[in-house]
Amino acid sequence: MATERIWPDLAIPPREFLAETLEDARISQAALAKQMDRPAQAINEIVRGKKEITPETALQLEAALGIPAHIWTRLEADYQLRKARLASGRVYRVPAAIGGGSVGRSLVFARPAWRFDSSSVTKYAKKSVSRLAAKKKK
């Protein structure tokens, strides 16, 4: 069975998650800053997108809000990667995993939206079939 990794073309900033978390918990930026022993301006800059969430900040957010640090660092890393992908404008091909004798497909995307490139899929499928056939002969 072939599986595909889907890459979103929308970069969601972690600052939005932080702002929503603060709003839901009814915590002000100033109160969070005090809890984290950071200047209120630092929290405000994160919420406005002027500063990134560093691993140290993620640990402080974990202690203050109870949301694990790895969630904050992953949100930031994913956001930065998506921004870079969208800014590059290049086409990326993500080959699908091949298993159980199925022929894989490639997922192709470019800025600003996903595009499916059937010619590359056909080439990839032919190569995959020939590789599988060669492995079975051995």
pLDDT tens by residue, 50-91: 999 999 999 999 999 999 999 999 999 988 988 887 788 765
Amino acid in the structure at residue 128: S
Which run of H or E residues covers position 108?
strand 106-109
Contact between 28 and 40 under an 8 Å Cβ cutoff? The reply is: no
Q: Write down the domain spans for the chain.
A: 14-87, 90-137
* Closest to 74 in 3D by CA, of 44, 47, 45, 53: 53
Prediction pTM value: 0.60
* Whole-number pLDDT of residue 6: 60
pLDDT tens by residue, 81-104: 888 877 887 655 555 554 444 444
User: How many residues in the chain?
Assistant: 138
Local structure of 3: helix, strand or coil: strand
Q: Which fold has domain 14-87?
A: 434 Repressor (Amino-terminal Domain) (1.10.260)
